[in-house]
Every structure is written in structure tokens, then in C-alpha cells.
A and B are shown apart, each in its own frame.
Chain A
Amino acid sequence: MIALSKKYPAYLNRFQSLIALLVLCVCISILSDKFLTLDNGWNILRQIAVNICISVGMTLVVLTAGIDLSVGSVLAFCGAITAGLLKNGIPVESADLFIGFTLPGALLAGILVGALLGFFNGFVITKFKVPPFVATLAMLTIARGLTMLYTQGHPISNLGASFSVIGTGWLLGIPVPVWIAGVVVLLAVFCTKQTRLGRYIYAIGGNENAAVLSGININKVKIIVYSIAGAMAAIGGIMVTSRLDSAQPNAGSGYELDAIAAVVIGGTSLSGGRGSIWGTVMGAVIIGVLNNGLVLLNVSPFWQQVVKGGVILIAVVIDRIGNKNE
């Protein structure tokens, strides 16, 4: 590997995750005849749709040299809020009033709550200069606690057929979650490549001092980015809840690590300023294919974890070698 790296061409570097994915697919299809089928393909995409949504938000955060550990808990809380509003609404006992929610209303409320929790993260990080790791670690616990409080520790189930379309339905021959993830990805790509906000995100991660001196309101940008990450987690939460037709109080625990893994495998630098949404999508697909392949090949769950960790390590090491040549 090291000897090879001397002449590691730039284009190889650019497509290394795609190449890795192809190699992975070829290997699994040789080992299992169930892998390369249309059904299995949709199956994989549907499974990774949630991770893609969260990872996209995480990518934006990581590009500013931050991190968001709270996404898993925020996902659970927003899923529960959406489910709760849809099923029970808000009863106001003192006024003998009942506020019911339509499906769009409940969805919007869930996403808003996610954005609000993200906003709070961003506010604490920028206003009080708390390191993102610590601020979002606190939110991880807070949001999980809020979920428990809201659900009283019990799942909220039987949410109706129209709601379950989001997680299990099909549209024009493509699963609805895949549509959602696709739209999220396209919006994020547009934002990072074509807008001022995108440029500012890269600039802050690239050199925060220079960004400040260039007149960028870095606090505003960071707050926006954490809010987006929260909203993305909420969308993920709605999809998970819909798929299970139930909001589980402990849904989404550990999802932040999967999202960070996708970001890192996708070649986004944890020190910020370098990376892309497409890379993260690749990362999420690689993790999804790997998960799926390991199950198809009947690898024991214990080994699955070891293999996944190994893949993350290899991806980062290759990235390091590639970067040394630049």
C-alpha cells in the first residue's frame, strides 16, 4: 500500500469510495446469489435511507469542524412527538380543549422540534463557546430523557395507514424512504455546491480565523448548520417511526456513530473544510451493503461488528495515504 501510494493518481483518490463499493459488491455477489437482486437492492436502499438523512446533516456539521452526537436521541424524540401528536394531539385539560393534528401538521411539528433542538445545540456552542462534542453529548442525554418523559417509557403504536406510507410505501416503483433520502441529498448537494451558505460552511471548517476576518457571521452559520442537523434527525425519526408503525422510546441509540462512520468513510475530514455530501452518501451505501452482505453470508453478529470497524479503519487509512500525496 505504501509503495503503491507514491504514484497514487488523483482521479483514483477521487473515486476511491466508489471503487471500494464496487469491489465490495463483486465480492458479495460471488459469495451469495441472493445479493444481486432488485428486491435486495431496494431493501438495502430502504434500510440506509434513515442513515443517509442523518449523515447528510452530520456532514454539514463536520465540514464546519464540529460534531453532533445528539442526532440519535433527537431522532427518537422527534419520532415520538410526531407519533404522539398524530395519535393523541394536545389535550388542554384546564380549558377542556383538544388540539388535534393532521398528518402534515404532525410531521411539520416533529421536524420543527428537531430543528429547535439543533438550534439549541448551535446556540450553546457559539454563545458559550462550549466544544461541540460536549454540547451535543449533553443534548444526547437530554433528548433521550425528554423522549422517556413524553412516552412514559412506552411505545406509541398504531398510527394509521396513511402515516405508514412514509416508511413502507412505494411511489413510481421506488420506496418512499428512498425518495425522501434522495430529495434530502439533492437539496444538500445544492446547498453545499451552489449557495453562499455552502461556501461559508467550507470556509469556517477550512480556517475559522480567516472566515471571521472575511466578514462571515460564523455564529449564524454554525447555528443554521446544527439546526439542519436536528431537522435531518427528525426526518429520520419520522421514517423509523412510520416503518415500525410505532415510536420506540429507545429508537435511534447509536445512530450517531453510524452517521459519523458514513461521513468518515466518505472522506470528509473531521477537522473540517474538506469533504462532500456525495462522499457521505457513498459511505452510507458502503455501510449498508456491508451490513446486508454480512447477514446474507450468515456471518455471526459479533463478527459483523469487527468487520464494520475494520472497514472504517481501512477507509480512513487509505484516505490519509491519498492525502499525503497532495
Chain B
Amino acid sequence: MLVAQHITKKFSGVTALSNVTIELHPGKVNAIIGENGAGKSTLMKILSGVYTDYEGRIEYNNELLQFTGTRDAEQKGIAIIHQELNLVPHLNITENIFLGRELTNSWGILDKKAMRRKTRELLKKVNLATEPDDTIASLKVGQQQLVEIARALYTNASVIIMDEPTSAISDKEVLHLFDIIRELRNEGKIIVYISHKLKELFTIADRYIVMRDGCTVDQGDMSTITQEMLIERMTGRQGFGKQQHTPLQQKEEILRVEHLSLKNTLYDISFSLHKGEILGLYGLMGAGRTELMETLFGLHAYSGDIFIGGKGTIINNPRKAMQAGLALVPEDRKQHGLILNAPVKTNISITILQQLERWGVVLHKQKETVLCKDYIKKLAIKTSSENTPASNLSGGNQQKIVLAKWLATQPGILLLDEPTRGVDINAKFEIYQLINELAAGGMGILLVSSELPEILAVSHRVLVMAEGRLTADLPGEAATESIIVKHAIQHN
């Protein structure tokens, strides 16, 4: 039995795991369940030696386990199969399985024959009908996953951790994968299975461990619990308390999306957004929320219709979107929102430089400074001056810069993708307040968030997505955590 006791892990002051204790049983499929950010991945990274610096003890068969790194964890029998597979696409199966632990003969030359023979054995074991010399790139995702499992078998792993193994494979491949998992389980290995898809857990898992906000909430036998109970445990935290909205006076539609589809990502999405409305959009990882936002902002070639203020509009690049009065605060502010080494000022003014030109040529720098100082004050951005590089500011203040640069365009529709991610609690409430003020001023706001309490606290109405489809459109009063989560995972 693998036991992790009192594990606590902090990232620069933020607690990701707090006093987590779990038991992983051999000969069982142990499912770990939780919302985004519940701490599942952090825990798995500790178990597989990615993070070596944590508080607490890990014991395997009553022996203390301490890893110096992933390679060490692997040698001690723990293998992890990440959601993003860790294979080199242009090398063949054999080369991938033996990567970093190649067999050599007594001359130090690669023993290709032996490696190929061993690979053939392993492929047979995972029931994969390919040749050892096939390149990874020529395999389907499901087959690649089996190669990863074969690699884990080669290292003689006694603990196999799988992170969302079914997120990218077909139903048929899932059944095949489950067969392999059962076989491994019956050999007495510890299988750790992480998934959002509650339904399949009832098919494959023997035990469950529910995590929430960096703690374990409950663990036990799968047979003793129902889907409803699991959902309740995943979400049953104390919410922020619902904010009191003044109900919408007039229902003037400013954005309508009809049958919007994006190849292999979004399917037939239709909804509308009204003036002064805050529309929450919830979905689990991979549900297509970000893709929907990006599509609305002109980053992808879509099919379907977008109406803005009742007028059909084709949005095929961000400039068109901006002209139509849209603004997008992207999910990852460092990658997509900010020019980190540039000053706060130029980050804010970048969207409206055209309006700051004198005689159509020269930038009116005083006007720019005044405008930026205005936003720094209005949004209470904490910075020593408008010329400080954006990288010097804290996460919350950086996010406010991104908000400022888009508010400067005076948009009618504001798309917010995870606006409070990595932002401290005070800045969070400031941002909520700002969102409310903007909506009260007549802006239509589409808010994507993985944090349910956030969605519930600020939204007039909640949309739920699952696997690229819209699965629910709930009025604020009807939306509760369990109903939303049910719609977010139910789709199959």
C-alpha cells in the first residue's frame, strides 16, 4: 500500500496542498476526483518525483519513500502517464520506450535487436498491433497512450498514475484501455486514475478520493457512493454568497451567436448576451470555453453566425472584433495579455494608439500619459509610476493593466477569460466590483471561470459547456453548484 501522510505543498506563499493524507491500495483502481485547481496534479507531481520539496511523508509498504527526481521515482517503481503524452514523435516505439535507458552490448554499442525483442513483448502485453519500428507520429493518440503504458511496464512500475487518460481518445479506445487497466490491476499494481468524467469512474474505479481546495474531503469504496454524492463532495464548499443584482431593466440584445462551430472543438453553439448582463460561462478543462472566446474575438475560422447589436458580423481577425466593439481579456495574461518588459503606460495605450495620433503621424504623449494615469487611478493599479515595466507588478495589478487596456477601447462587449486566475483575494473582489460597475453601465460581459463560486457570485445567467457543446443555459436563480457541475460532466 502506498500511503501519503500530511502532505503540504506551498508555492511562494500560496498553499496548493494542505495536510493531505491518502491511501492507494494495490490491486485496485484508485480514482482521484476534484475540480480544476483542487490540487490533484500537484499531488501527482509529488508522488512522481517532479516536486521533491514538500512537507509530509510518503510510505510504500511501510518504507519511507523520498525521491530526488522523476528518474528516481521511476526507478522506485512509480510511473506517471501525463495528459500531454511524453513521447518523441519522430522516434519509433522502441526508441521511445528505451529513451534514456538504452540497452547496450559489451562494446557500448546500442543493442537494437534486444530492444526490439523486448518492445515486441511489451506491445503484445498492452495488446497493441503495431511494429516496434513504427514512429510515434504515425500512431493514434490512444495507441500512443498504450506505448506510454508499455514504457511504464518496462520499468516494472508497481504504481501507475494516469492523468485524464480518456480525454483525447475514442470510445472504442477507451474500452481497450480499460481492459489493459483491469489486467494490470489484477496483477496487483496500484493504479491511480484521475478523471473529470464521473460516469466512467463507476465503470473502472474501485476506490475514490475526493479533493477540494487542496484537501482530501472523502475517500472510500466506489460501491458505497453515488454520482450525486460525489458531485456534492467535489463542490460542497462555502461559497462567496450570492451578490445582489438589480434585475435587468431592459433586455436589449447586443450579441447573438447562432450555430457556431469550430472544427473538432466547438459544436453548434447558440446563445445571446444582453446589454448590462453578466453571463457566466462554466466548463471543465477542455470543454472549449477559451476556444469559444477566441473564436468570438476573431482568432479562428468558424462556421455559424455572429450578430452584434442585431447586425450580422463576420469576425475573422481581432481588428474586426475590436471594430465591432468586442474586447478580450485572455486567460494567460503573461503569454497573451501583456508585453512584460514594456512599461505599464505602453501596455495600456497599445489598443488605442490610433486615437492618440496628432496629424495622423506623431503620438500625442501627454495625452497618452494623462489617459494612462487616469486608468491607473480608476482601477487602483499599484505601481510606482506609469513607466514601470509591467513585469514588476503583482499578478492582480498586471491583470488590471490588461483590463485597463481593453476598457480604454470602450467596448460594448467584454469577454473575460479567467479574469481572477492567480490573483490575490483583495484584487479578486476589486475585479468583481469592477465587473458589476461595468455591467451597470450597460456593458455586456461574458465571464469564463473555472471557479464555481465566482460564476455564481457575479453572473445574471450561467451557460455551461461540456466537450465543445453548450449543455445548459440557466437563469441566475436556478443555478446552483451541483446543477452546474452536473451539466458540465453529464454530456456523453
Contact = CB atoms under 8 A, between A and B. Distances in A.
A212 B319 CA distance: 9
Contacts of B342: 202-203, 206, 273
A63 to B, nearest CB: 12
B362 interface: yes
A195 B361 contact: yes
A280 B89 CA distance: 42
Interface in A235-257: none
A196 B338 contact: no
B180 interface: no
B339 interface: yes
Interface stretch (B101-109, B205-213, B345-353): B345-353
A18 B115 CA distance: 61
Contacts of A202: 339, 342, 346
B337 interface: yes
A200 B342 CA distance: 12
Contacts of B337: 210, 213
B297 interface: yes
B175 interface: no
Contacts of B351: 214-215
Given A213-B297, A274-B341, A196 B318 contact: no
A199 B318 contact: no
A271 to B, nearest CB: 10
B238 interface: no
Given A194-B363, A213-B297, A273 B328 contact: no
Contacts of B322: 215
Contact of A215 (B319, B338, B339): B319
B226 interface: no
Interface string B240-257: 000000000000000000
Interface in A293-323: none
A43 interface: no
A207 B338 CA distance: 7
B389 to A, nearest CB: 8
Interface residues of A, number: 21
A325 interface: no
A199 B350 contact: yes
Contacts of B328: 213
A199 B350 CA distance: 8
Interface string B22-44: 00000000000000000000000
Contacts of A194: 361-363, 365
A217 B353 contact: no
Most interface-central of A199, A213, A273 (chain B CB within 10 A): A213
B350 A203 contact: yes
A210 B319 contact: no
Contact of B340 (A196, A200, A206, A217): A206
A206 B319 CA distance: 19
B378 interface: no
A102 interface: no
Given A209-B335, A213-B318, A213-B330, A196 B354 contact: yes
Interface string A198-234: 0110110011011111111100000000000000000
Interface string B343-380: 00010011101100100011101000000000000000
A209 B297 CA distance: 13
Interface string B435-470: 000000000000000000000000000000000000
A194 B368 CA distance: 12
A199 B93 CA distance: 48
A200 B357 CA distance: 14
B172 interface: no
Contacts of B405: 214
A217 B298 CA distance: 13
A125 to B, nearest CB: 18
B336 A199 contact: no
Contacts of B318: 212-215
A210 B346 CA distance: 12
Most interface-central of A203, A210, A217 (chain B CB within 10 A): A210
B347 to A, nearest CB: 8
Contact of B336 (A200, A213, A273): A213
A273 B297 contact: no
Contact of A209 (B321, B336, B341, B353): B336
Contact of A207 (B321, B340, B353, B362): B340
19 contacts: A194-B362, A195-B361, A196-B354, A199-B346, A199-B349, A202-B346, A207-B335, A207-B336, A209-B335, A211-B339, A213-B297, A213-B318, A213-B330, A213-B336, A214-B351, A214-B405, A215-B319, A216-B350, A273-B342
Interface of A: 194-196, 199-200, 202-203, 206-207, 209-217, 273-274, 326
Closest 3 CB pairs of A and B: A206-B339, A196-B353, A215-B322
